[in-house]
Copies of this chain bind each other. A is one copy, B any other.
Amino acid sequence: MVEEYLHRIRHKGLRDRVVSADQAASLIKDGMVLGMSGFTRSGEAKAVPLALAERARREPLKVTLMTGASLGNDLDKILNDAHVTSRRMPFMSDPSLRRSINAGEVMYIDQHLSETVEQLRTGQLPGVDIAIVEAAAITETGGIVPTTSVGNSASFAILADKVIVEINLNQSEQLEGLHDIYIPTYWPVRTPIPVVTPESRAGFPYIPIPPEKIAAIVLSNKLDSSSTVTEPDDGTRAIAGNLTEFLKNEVARGRMPASLHPLQAGIGSIANAVMHGFIDSPFHDLTMYSEVLQDSTFDLMDAGKMVFASGSSITLSEPKYAEVMGRFQDYKRKLVLRPQEISNHPEVVRRLGIIAINTALEFDIYGNVNSTHVMGTNMMNGIGGSGDFARNAYLSVFVTKSIAKDGRISSVVPMVSHVDHTEHDVDILVTEQGLADLRGLAPRERAQLIIRNCVAPEWRDGLQDYFDRAVARGGHTPHLLEEALSWHDRLRRTGTMKPE
């Protein structure tokens, strides 16, 4: 056993810090702020949170839990069911936790993913007491080598009082060298972030912290949860087709090269279909500068379409994970994982001129997008990185199917019930019905284009009627305020947006 892991703790002075998960968890006190690794269900600390949930059965234990993004292995469910999570930021996607958030039992702070550690390091959020970080190894100098995600782990470890490292013996040692840990400099004079292409490397291949901060090392072996890939259907294929056609036209008009601009894609089945759609496209030498590298990234590489991908995590289906890890050295030189502050940084997103493709829950006839709140009230997951990318992208694209819930809901509404992305930050809207290019258009023009191109036929007349009557009343962005949210209210009362 000893030999199995000792080479993963290359700093000899740290080898005696190896303890059980229970012992490590005992460092955590009621009321603490924890900063945990994990981003889109990969690379999260796995053993200590379980021990913590177990402990909470015996004694009152509530913490503020910060992560990169969502956790795998049902950890958000387990911690929430054990009533450990009292505050949570900046993203989650677990149904059990979602219920507690919407019931007002857990205080959830839904943040742009690039901003959490900026607020932390300036003392604008309560400081992290303990960071818990999954690692593939600890270097000779005590540097922490992350696993399949970086997320906020680096800043958590740097800013925390103490660090617990989980060495996951089932995470490949080949991961070392994959990461580029660059942390912005501090005021009074902050220097530019030296990332000028998706390939740029600017930092360390490990999280550099003083080894004495590592208070405990725990061994673990649970795998990352695998992602469930939904196969493309007619709807998502049509969305992908509409977007590909548009981009082909942009290339034909000389607005961008056939390698496009670096791509960012949100998670989910639509974004996945869109990315897969590029396999059969005429584009080539594609790159990604995104948050999450999913199956489609590697499929595009295998198809010879993509030459490089930068992200903050790798989240794969089970077969893809086996395949990628089976020949990881082939992929490694085409990949880099960064802190989410850098993968999503406004400075870099704007500089690189990213094509940002994110999923809307609903959008309205003027192009405002709701990504988070069902019926304006219930949190779905969180804004994630969509705002970081949409605001600063070269091209900000939002995709969704035009209808939901077997046609009882139109995804295009008179007024969104919650705004995450304003009309100022949305360039292109795509549904299976078609695409609306909103660039350079005034609200009234946008409305006509959206109604014509993006709305399902059975909802078109209703939206046109709303728009016409609003225009009769006047205004730059014509609305009938007494009716603007009536579609949602009808849905709440009757189970469908359709007129009673």
Contact = CB atoms under 8 A, between A and B. Distances in A.
Interface of A: 87, 89, 101-104, 107-112, 118-119, 122-126, 187-194, 196-197, 253-255, 257, 261, 345-347, 350-353, 368, 373, 375-379, 383, 387, 391-392, 394-395, 415, 417-420, 422-424, 427, 439-442, 444-445, 470-471, 473-479, 481-482, 484-486, 488-489, 492
B474 A377 contact: yes
Contact of A444 (B107, B111, B427): B107
A338 to B, nearest CB: 16
**The 9 nearest A-B residue pairs measured at CB:** A377-B475, A192-B192, A379-B476, A419-B419, A107-B442, A347-B347, A346-B346, A482-B489, A481-B485
A385 to B, nearest CB: 12
Given A192-B192, A347-B347, 17 more contacts: A107-B444, A119-B439, A123-B253, A123-B254, A125-B439, A190-B352, A345-B350, A373-B476, A375-B481, A376-B415, A377-B473, A377-B476, A379-B476, A417-B479, A418-B477, A419-B422, A485-B485
7 contacts: A119-B440, A124-B395, A346-B346, A391-B391, A418-B477, A481-B485, A485-B485
Contacts of A193: 192
A470 B473 CA distance: 30
A476 B108 contact: yes
Contacts of A197: 188-189
Given A119-B439, A196-B190, A376-B481, A368 B474 contact: no
Contacts of A375: 475, 481
Number of copies: 2
A38 to B, nearest CB: 20
Given A440-B125, A477-B418, A424 B383 contact: yes
Contacts of A475: 102, 373, 375, 377-379
Contacts of A422: 387, 419-420, 422
Nearest to A366: B418
A29 to B, nearest CB: 20
Nearest to A195: B192
B440 A124 contact: yes
A353 B255 contact: no
Contact of A476 (B101, B124, B254): B101
Nearest to A380: B476
A194 B347 CA distance: 12
A85 to B, nearest CB: 12
Nearest to A415: B376
Among A126, A378, A422, residue most surrounded by chain B Cβ atoms (within 10 Å)? A422
A348 to B, nearest CB: 8
A346 B377 CA distance: 30
Nearest to A473: B377
Among A197, A350, A395, residue most surrounded by chain B Cβ atoms (within 10 Å)? A350
A257 B392 CA distance: 30
Contacts of A489: 481-482
Among A368, A375, A419, residue most surrounded by chain B Cβ atoms (within 10 Å)? A419
Contact of A376 (B194, B352, B479): B479
Contacts of A109: 440-442
Among A89, A101, A439, A475, residue most surrounded by chain B Cβ atoms (within 10 Å)? A475
A70 to B, nearest CB: 16
Contacts of A87: 442
B192 A474 contact: no
A375 to B, nearest CB: 7
A394 B184 CA distance: 14
Contacts of A394: 118, 122
A196 B420 CA distance: 30
A124 B438 CA distance: 10
A98 B351 CA distance: 34
Contacts of A418: 477
